[in-house]
Amino acid sequence: MPVPRPPIAYTAYRNATFPYPGVAADPHAPLATVVRMTDETCAVLRGIIERRRDVRAEFTGDPLDDAVIRDLLTAAHAAPSVGNSQPWDFVVVRDPDLLSSFANHVDECRQAYADSLTGERRDTFNPIKIEGIRESGLGIVATYDPTRSGPNVLGRHTIDDAGVFSVVCAVQNLWLTATAHDLGVGWVSFYRENFLTDLLGLPEHIRPVAWLCVGRVSKLQETPDLIRFGWNDRVPLDQVVHHDRW
């Protein structure tokens, strides 16, 4: 059923640079010094953040335009990174044989996990689908290159993990952008890193960080799967906020 759009004051902005809707700019001053975000901008972002889901079962398999994939990668590539090292790579996987090999491996890891559970937890876990690797038809693998930007990455001498954390920021940029494009993303972590390294021929120093199933979806669930299936529940925000000291 086609969804009616409300009247909007903007023309298409997909290919626009500034000004974005809800973003006011003084044309007489340098861009970033005067651009103001508005209540509307906050609301749009909040809508995207709340709408984002970790998708397993709802992929349709309809292929994506290269331009859309490019938009997702552009968003990822605009992430913050320690020492501006931009230590990520992205492998766009559409080869059905690769998808199938990875899905088979993930099935084995799923079984190993199921075998580690007992009683009620096992029964709760059994019906939960944990990946949509074949159904999405597209995997985007984000990897970490610790050698990017040379031997003395600014800000990584104290916290070496800040490098791989940068890749995760890129993943989250991609995920939110996919949500804004009305797409689903599912982060699969049921795999052994060395399997993925071999499957995709990653160089030895490159660490796979995430396999993201990306694709069109029939819908996005309103409630996260693991809550719907009774696996666990939301933690209240107040429970995780502290002031000054723990």
Our CB check for a copy of itself shows the closer of 104 and 154 to be 154
> 114 Cβ partners below 8 Å, 6+ apart?
122, 125, 126
In angstroms, give the least distance from the CB of 237 to a copy of itself.
5
Q: Residue 141: phi, psi to the nearest 5?
A: -100, 120
SS3 at position 90: strand
Our CB check for a copy of itself shows the closer of 52 and 135 to be 52
Our CB check for a copy of itself shows the closer of 136 and 156 to be 156
Compute the residue count for the chain. Answer: 246
30 in the Ramachandran plot: left (φ > 0), alpha (ψ -120 to 50) or beta?
Answer: beta
In angstroms, give the least distance from the CB of 79 to a copy of itself.
7
Beta-bridge mates of residue 188: 211
Our CB check for a copy of itself shows the closer of 135 and 207 to be 207
Report which DSSP code applies to 83: G
In angstroms, give the least distance from the CB of 198 to a copy of itself.
11
In angstroms, give the least distance from the CB of 55 to a copy of itself.
11
